[in-house]
Homo-oligomer: A and B are copies of this chain.
Amino acid sequence: MAADTARAKIASMNEITTQSGNAPTAAAATIADAVLQALCFDANGLVPAIAQQHDTGEVLMMAWMNRDAVRETLATGRVCYFSRSRGRLWRKGESSGQTQHLKELRVDCDGDTLLLLVQQDGVACHTGRRNCFFRAARDGGLIEIAAPEVSPEALYGHSHG
Protein backbone atom coordinates (compact mmCIF):
# COMPACT_ATOMS: atom_id res chain seq x y z
CA MET A 1 0.00 0.00 0.00
CA ALA A 2 1.33 3.46 -0.87
CA ALA A 3 2.08 5.69 2.10
CA ASP A 4 -0.46 8.29 0.91
CA THR A 5 -3.19 5.68 0.75
CA ALA A 6 -2.29 4.39 4.19
CA ARG A 7 -2.34 7.90 5.61
CA ALA A 8 -5.71 8.64 4.07
CA LYS A 9 -6.98 5.41 5.52
CA ILE A 10 -5.84 6.05 9.06
CA ALA A 11 -7.19 9.60 8.86
CA SER A 12 -10.51 8.21 7.76
CA MET A 13 -10.48 5.51 10.44
CA ASN A 14 -9.79 8.11 13.09
CA GLU A 15 -12.92 10.11 12.30
CA ILE A 16 -14.95 9.73 15.42
CA THR A 17 -18.65 9.43 14.85
CA THR A 18 -20.04 8.98 18.35
CA GLN A 19 -19.14 9.54 22.01
CA SER A 20 -20.48 13.07 21.67
CA GLY A 21 -20.88 13.76 25.39
CA ASN A 22 -18.86 13.00 28.49
CA ALA A 23 -21.74 12.32 30.88
CA PRO A 24 -22.61 8.75 31.90
CA THR A 25 -25.50 7.56 29.77
CA ALA A 26 -27.50 4.43 29.15
CA ALA A 27 -25.73 4.20 25.80
CA ALA A 28 -22.36 4.20 27.55
CA ALA A 29 -23.49 1.31 29.75
CA THR A 30 -24.61 -0.62 26.68
CA ILE A 31 -21.30 0.05 24.94
CA ALA A 32 -19.41 -0.98 28.07
CA ASP A 33 -21.32 -4.24 28.19
CA ALA A 34 -20.48 -4.92 24.55
CA VAL A 35 -16.82 -4.07 25.07
CA LEU A 36 -16.47 -6.11 28.25
CA GLN A 37 -18.12 -9.08 26.58
CA ALA A 38 -15.53 -8.90 23.79
CA LEU A 39 -12.53 -8.67 26.13
CA CYS A 40 -10.40 -11.50 27.46
CA PHE A 41 -8.88 -10.33 30.73
CA ASP A 42 -5.71 -11.98 31.96
CA ALA A 43 -5.34 -13.99 35.19
CA ASN A 44 -5.09 -10.69 37.09
CA GLY A 45 -8.26 -9.33 35.51
CA LEU A 46 -6.34 -6.89 33.31
CA VAL A 47 -5.86 -6.05 29.64
CA PRO A 48 -3.13 -3.84 28.20
CA ALA A 49 -4.34 -0.54 26.77
CA ILE A 50 -2.31 1.45 24.25
CA ALA A 51 -2.94 5.21 24.31
CA GLN A 52 -2.49 6.91 20.94
CA GLN A 53 -2.89 10.63 20.28
CA HIS A 54 -5.93 10.60 18.03
CA ASP A 55 -4.88 13.22 15.47
CA THR A 56 -1.15 12.65 15.11
CA GLY A 57 -0.86 8.89 15.60
CA GLU A 58 1.81 9.31 18.29
CA VAL A 59 1.87 6.30 20.62
CA LEU A 60 1.89 7.92 24.04
CA MET A 61 2.02 5.06 26.55
CA MET A 62 0.81 1.62 27.47
CA ALA A 63 -0.96 0.85 30.73
CA TRP A 64 -3.49 -1.63 32.06
CA MET A 65 -7.24 -1.66 32.57
CA ASN A 66 -9.55 -3.85 34.62
CA ARG A 67 -13.31 -4.06 34.11
CA ASP A 68 -14.03 -1.06 36.31
CA ALA A 69 -11.45 1.05 34.48
CA VAL A 70 -13.06 0.20 31.13
CA ARG A 71 -16.51 1.06 32.47
CA GLU A 72 -15.42 4.32 34.03
CA THR A 73 -13.49 5.42 30.96
CA LEU A 74 -16.46 4.80 28.68
CA ALA A 75 -18.87 6.44 31.13
CA THR A 76 -16.87 9.60 31.79
CA GLY A 77 -14.81 10.03 28.62
CA ARG A 78 -11.75 10.52 30.81
CA VAL A 79 -9.22 7.70 30.65
CA CYS A 80 -8.94 5.63 33.80
CA TYR A 81 -6.39 2.81 34.10
CA PHE A 82 -5.70 0.27 36.82
CA SER A 83 -2.38 0.91 38.53
CA ARG A 84 -0.68 -2.40 39.19
CA SER A 85 1.84 -0.80 41.57
CA ARG A 86 -0.84 0.94 43.61
CA GLY A 87 -3.47 -1.78 43.24
CA ARG A 88 -6.27 0.66 42.48
CA LEU A 89 -7.95 2.65 39.74
CA TRP A 90 -5.72 5.37 38.35
CA ARG A 91 -7.46 8.31 36.77
CA LYS A 92 -4.73 9.47 34.41
CA GLY A 93 -3.70 12.95 35.47
CA GLU A 94 -5.21 12.77 38.94
CA SER A 95 -1.91 13.91 40.42
CA SER A 96 -0.26 15.64 37.47
CA GLY A 97 -3.24 17.28 35.77
CA GLN A 98 -2.11 15.65 32.50
CA THR A 99 -5.44 14.03 31.68
CA GLN A 100 -6.40 11.90 28.71
CA HIS A 101 -9.76 12.40 27.02
CA LEU A 102 -11.14 9.40 25.20
CA LYS A 103 -11.97 9.91 21.54
CA GLU A 104 -12.53 6.27 20.71
CA LEU A 105 -11.91 2.86 22.23
CA ARG A 106 -10.99 -0.07 19.98
CA VAL A 107 -10.66 -3.78 20.69
CA ASP A 108 -8.23 -6.05 18.89
CA CYS A 109 -9.00 -9.28 17.04
CA ASP A 110 -8.37 -11.54 20.02
CA GLY A 111 -10.00 -9.23 22.57
CA ASP A 112 -6.86 -9.08 24.66
CA THR A 113 -5.61 -5.57 23.88
CA LEU A 114 -7.27 -2.14 23.78
CA LEU A 115 -6.33 0.82 21.62
CA LEU A 116 -7.43 4.15 23.06
CA LEU A 117 -7.53 7.13 20.74
CA VAL A 118 -7.11 10.06 23.08
CA GLN A 119 -6.57 13.77 23.39
CA GLN A 120 -3.60 14.09 25.73
CA ASP A 121 -3.51 17.21 27.87
CA GLY A 122 0.15 18.15 28.27
CA VAL A 123 2.53 15.21 28.57
CA ALA A 124 1.73 11.52 28.94
CA CYS A 125 4.95 10.36 30.60
CA HIS A 126 5.69 10.73 34.30
CA THR A 127 9.21 11.83 33.33
CA GLY A 128 7.71 14.97 31.78
CA ARG A 129 8.12 13.78 28.21
CA ARG A 130 5.30 13.85 25.71
CA ASN A 131 5.34 10.04 25.36
CA CYS A 132 6.94 7.17 27.25
CA PHE A 133 8.91 5.70 24.34
CA PHE A 134 11.84 8.11 24.42
CA ARG A 135 14.65 5.54 24.36
CA ALA A 136 15.64 4.17 20.97
CA ALA A 137 18.04 1.45 19.89
CA ARG A 138 20.43 3.54 17.81
CA ASP A 139 24.13 4.06 17.32
CA GLY A 140 25.18 0.88 19.06
CA GLY A 141 23.14 1.44 22.20
CA LEU A 142 19.96 2.72 23.76
CA ILE A 143 19.81 6.50 23.54
CA GLU A 144 17.33 9.14 24.65
CA ILE A 145 15.61 10.78 21.71
CA ALA A 146 13.35 13.21 23.57
CA ALA A 147 13.91 15.56 26.48
CA PRO A 148 11.36 16.36 29.21
CA GLU A 149 9.00 19.18 28.30
CA VAL A 150 8.23 19.78 31.95
CA SER A 151 10.03 18.69 35.11
CA PRO A 152 8.57 15.82 37.15
CA GLU A 153 8.76 18.08 40.19
CA ALA A 154 6.50 20.59 38.47
CA LEU A 155 4.08 17.78 37.63
CA TYR A 156 3.93 16.00 40.93
CA GLY A 157 5.79 17.69 43.71
CA HIS A 158 6.76 14.45 45.43
CA SER A 159 4.04 12.13 44.15
CA HIS A 160 3.52 10.32 40.84
CA GLY A 161 0.51 9.76 38.56
A interface, CB within 8 angstroms of B? 1, 3, 6-7, 9-10, 13, 17-19, 27, 30-31, 34-35, 38, 48, 50, 52-53, 55-59, 61-62, 74, 104-110, 113, 115, 125-127, 129-130, 132-142, 145-146
A48–B30 touching, CB < 8 Å: no
Pick from B10, B53, B125, B146: contact of A6, CB under 8 Å: B53
Query: How many chain copies does the complex carry?
Result: 2
Secondary structure at chain A's binding surface: helix, strand, loop or mixed? mixed
Out of B74, B126, B136, name the residue touching A104 (CB < 8 Å): B136
In contact, A137 and B34 (Cβ under 8 angstroms): yes
- In the complex, what residues of B have CB within 8 A of residue A145's CB? 13, 106
